[in-house]
Amino acid sequence: MVMHNGKQVGGEYTYVRRNSNSYMPSFTEIIDSSGATSAGTKTYMDVKAGDRIGLKLFNNEFIEHPGPGFFYMSKAPGNVSDYDGSGDWFKVWESGPTGNPTSTGGWPTYGKYTMEFTLPKTIEDGEYLLRGEHIGIHENRTFPYVYCLKIHADYDDRCWKATDMECAQIRITGGTGTVKPSPVSKIPGIYKKNDPGLTFNFWGGRGAYVMPGPAVAKF
């Protein structure tokens, strides 16, 4: 579900694209999960630059695995409901460890029901895909347990290789648009299997945790 200025807005698929599977999409569907483009909602949530927005887990679930959280955004060239996410993406927010990365208490996202951030006031107006994601580092064998802080999914250890993503649709007004976000990336393309942040061993890791993906965009 979508959060707006501290409150849940709508139901589980009001502004979030409906997917046709629960987990394990193919790697090319890492943008927003299987079937989510063709089955996407036609509505979007209206927000203003400077608002606080985010996503909430379905059914009052909480993030029960240690790891980092992220939000990515991509501006649609037209109507966001028709957008396939093939354009540029930028990381607008991330939450890494604030303590020991081999302890659940070292991760601010652990035990939380939502992830939220404040939209930059300098962002450009328009319709966007908002992609929320949390990476559980407790099962980093070959590829991490990656799931979206979204709405509805199987959160058991069968999907330790899952790359389950979904996107919310939003329309932003009131931004100055004075600065273009940088850096930008394509999805797929933000992660590699051997990234240190994806291969870090929660049960015996040593040293600092390296956040995966691009840097948070500057505006």
Give the pLDDT mean for 199-214: 87
Integer-rounded Cα radius of gyration of the chain = 16
Range 2-199 classified under CATH 2.70.50.70: yes
Say if residue 141 is exposed, middle or buried (CB neighbours under 10 Å; 0-12, 13-18, 19+). exposed
pLDDT of residue 59: 78
Query: Tens digit of pLDDT for each residue in 139-171?
Result: 655 444 444 433 223 223 323 333 345 689 999
Domain boundaries, the chain: 2-199
Residue 217: C-alpha distances to residues 122, 174, 197 (Å): 12, 19, 19
- Of 126 and 22, the structure prediction assigns the larger pLDDT to 126
Q: Compute the distance between CA of residue 89 and CA of residue 76 in angstroms, rounded to an integer.
A: 10
Beta bridge partners of 182: 218
Model confidence pLDDT, tens digit, residues 32-66: 544 445 355 678 999 999 999 999 887 788 888 89
DSSP alpha helix (H) spans, the chain: 196-199
Q: What is the mean pLDDT of the chain?
A: 81
> pTM score, two decimals?
0.85
What six digits make up the tokens of 119? 């939209």
Q: Do 92 and 72 meet the contact criterion of CB atoms below 8 Å apart? A: yes
